[in-house]
């Protein structure tokens, strides 16, 4: 598909046809995106916003692998050693962990959604959206016969990735139980977000202080965090329980704060492999742990249960703002976020 100029993106043919018939109808919005070939010939969707904001989503894993600001700076971390070859999950960006987070169950680590090929859903059920959002894509995953052998439940997983007018990125997951045999199912979930940071030793996370957490490095034992913002000087792998809906990741060196807003996802995982584990990972550079931090909105401690016909929604919104807006003060930040309408 020809690349349209950034300021006037063209809808794909199906969306263009749909737009022609929708001129008199208020819903749904026409998604604006481009489908191009990415690494190893895997297809990816490009989202372009105003002022040069952009994002990329691979159909493989429905994985966001790029989110750039208006200075074309990459805000997410993707390893230089990432392997873009199924069944390996792509190391970086925003992998989706479903129907299992980590080792909390019998499936492969983090479930299978991150290493399946998703498809574009040109006709998703309506989803209320900010009308200012012009660039988004809907993807869908349904289980294959092979998937049903390892997790015997029928589901529809719809993911909308949207780039807002101020460059904010949102991911909305809708998971529906489509079992026809009357059975409920339960799952755990995470948006395994890898943030790009200048230097991990200069980063602070606010919003998780005093929270209870399960420590994956200590057999998932439960502890309570101290009263100070989280800083990093060694490996960390914690699941913070019932974490607040807003978490700030403050990068002093870059003078940038990421604000993560979550809905429907009570927990938040914080992970950095540090030097030894980094060396042991085939798809991760030895020193790359210094330049990344995973903060992952999740539902881990209490699995989500859906009866047949029921749908769950889990949303993540990310924005990157100058640190002066929010360092040490999450409340004024709220006003800023409201202004951004996310």
Ligand X SMILES: O=P(O)(O)OC[C@H]1O[C@@H](O)[C@H](O)[C@@H](O)[C@@H]1O
Size of the site for ligand X (CB under 6 A): 10
Among residues 31, 49, 102, 314, the one that binds ligand X under rule CB under 6 A: 102
The answer on whether 183 is annotated among ligand-binding residues is no
Asked if 296 touches ligand X (CB under 6 A), the answer is yes
> 267, 241 in Cβ contact below 8 A?
yes
Beta bridge partners of 194: 294
Q: Which 3 state secondary structure label does DSSP give 128? A: coil
Sheet holding 54-58, edge to edge: 34-37, 43-48, 54-58, 63-68
Least distance to ligand X, CB of residue 87, Å? 12
* Residue 276 sits in the site that holds ligand X (CB under 6 A): no
Residue 161: beta bridge partners? 137, 171
Burial 304-326 (b: 16+ CB within 10 A, else e): bebebeeebebbbbbbbbebeeb
- Between 132 and 217, whose beta carbon lies closer to ligand X? 217
Beta carbon of residue 196, minimum distance to ligand X (angstroms, whole number): 17
The residues that are catalytic are: 192, 296
39 binds ligand X (CB under 6 A): no
Part of the chain binding ligand X (CB under 6 A), chosen from 19-27, 102-110, 171-179, 195-203? 102-110
Our CA dihedral for 149, 150, 152, 158, rounded to 10 degrees, sits at -110
Instruction: Enumerate the β-bridge partners of residue 247.
Output: 260
Q: Which of 109, 144, 224, 329 is in the footprint of ligand X by CB under 6 A?
A: 109
Which of 134, 192, 254, 315 is the binder for ligand X (CB under 6 A)? 192
Q: Is 160 annotated as a binding residue?
A: no
Of 110, 158, 160, 246, the one binding ligand X (CB under 6 A) is 110
Structure tokens at 165: 């007018």
Provide, rounded to whole angstroms, the least separation between the CB of residue 79 and ligand X: 11
- Spatial contact of 297 and 208, defined as CB atoms under 8 Å apart: no
Q: In the range 230-259, which residues lie near ligand X by CB under 6 A?
A: 237
Single residue of 169, 271, 299, 301 touching ligand X by CB under 6 A: 271
Between 120 and 269, CB nearer to ligand X: 269
| Rounded distance between C-alpha atoms, residue 204 and residue 257, angstroms | 10
**Rounded CA gap, 242 and 262, in Å?**
11
User: Minimum Å distance from CB 65 to ligand X?
Assistant: 14
* 269 sits near ligand X (criterion: CB under 6 A): yes
Closest to ligand X by CB, 91 or 153:
91
Nearer to ligand X, 68 or 192 (CB): 192
CB of 192 to ligand X, least distance (A): 5
Is there a binding annotation on residue 142? no
Select from 22, 30, 179, 216 the one that contacts ligand X (CB under 6 A). 216
Structure tokens belonging to residue 171: 């991911």
Query: In angstroms, rounded to a whole number, what is the distance separating the alpha carbons of residues 226 and 33?
Result: 44
**Closer Cβ to ligand X, 96 or 333, answer by number:** 96
* Whether 174 contacts 158, CB under 8 Å: yes
Does 191 help bind ligand X (rule: CB under 6 A)? no
Of 79, 76, 78, 77, residue with least CA distance to 67: 76
* Sequence-distant (≥ 6) Cβ neighbours of residue 177 within 8 angstroms: 153, 154, 155, 184, 185, 306, 307, 308, 309, 310, 311
Please report whether residue 194 would count as binding ligand X according to CB under 6 A.
Answer: no
Binding-site sequence positions for substrate: 91, 109, 114
Contact residues for ligand X, defined by CB under 6 A: 89, 102, 109-110, 192, 216, 237, 269, 271, 296
């Amino acid at each position: 598909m020809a690349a349209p100029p950034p300021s006037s993106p063209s809808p794909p043919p199906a969306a263009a046809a749909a737009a022609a018939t929708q001129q008199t109808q208020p819903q749904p919005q026409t998604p604006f995106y481009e489908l191009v070939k990415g690494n190893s010939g895997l297809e990816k969707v490009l989202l372009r916003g105003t002022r040069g904001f952009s994002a990329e989503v691979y159909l493989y894993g429905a994985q966001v692998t790029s989110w750039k600001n208006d200075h074309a700076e990459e805000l997410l971390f993707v390893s230089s050693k990432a392997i873009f070859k199924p069944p390996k999950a792509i190391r970086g960006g925003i992998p989706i962990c479903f129907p299992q987070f980590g080792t909390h169950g019998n499936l492969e680590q983090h479930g299978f959604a991150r290493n399946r090929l998703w498809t574009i859903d040109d006709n998703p059920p309506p989803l209320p959206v900010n009308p200012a959002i012009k660039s988004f894509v809907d993807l869908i995953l349904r289980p294959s016969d092979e998937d049903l052998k390892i997790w015997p439940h029928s589901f529809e997983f719809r993911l909308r990735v949207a780039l807002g007018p101020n460059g904010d990125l949102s991911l909305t997951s809708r998971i529906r139980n489509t079992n026809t045999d009357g059975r409920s199912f339960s799952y755990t979930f995470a948006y395994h977000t890898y943030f790009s940071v200048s230097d991990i030793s200069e980063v602070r996370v606010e919003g998780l202080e005093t929270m209870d957490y399960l420590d994956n490095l200590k057999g998932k034992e439960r502890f309570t965090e101290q009263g100070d913002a989280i800083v990093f000087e060694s490996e960390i792998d914690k699941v913070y329980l019932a974490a607040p809906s807003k978490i700030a990741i403050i990068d002093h060196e870059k003078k940038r704060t990421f604000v993560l807003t979550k809905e429907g996802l009570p927990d938040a995982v914080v992970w950095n492999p540090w030097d030894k584990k980094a060396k042991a990972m085939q798809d991760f550079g030895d020193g790359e742990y210094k330049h990344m931090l995973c903060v992952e909105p999740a539902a881990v401690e209490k699995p989500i249960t859906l009866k047949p016909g029921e749908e769950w929604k889990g949303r993540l919104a990310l924005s990157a703002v100058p640190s002066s807006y929010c360092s040490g003060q999450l409340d004024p930040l709220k006003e800023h976020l409201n202004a951004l309408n996310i």
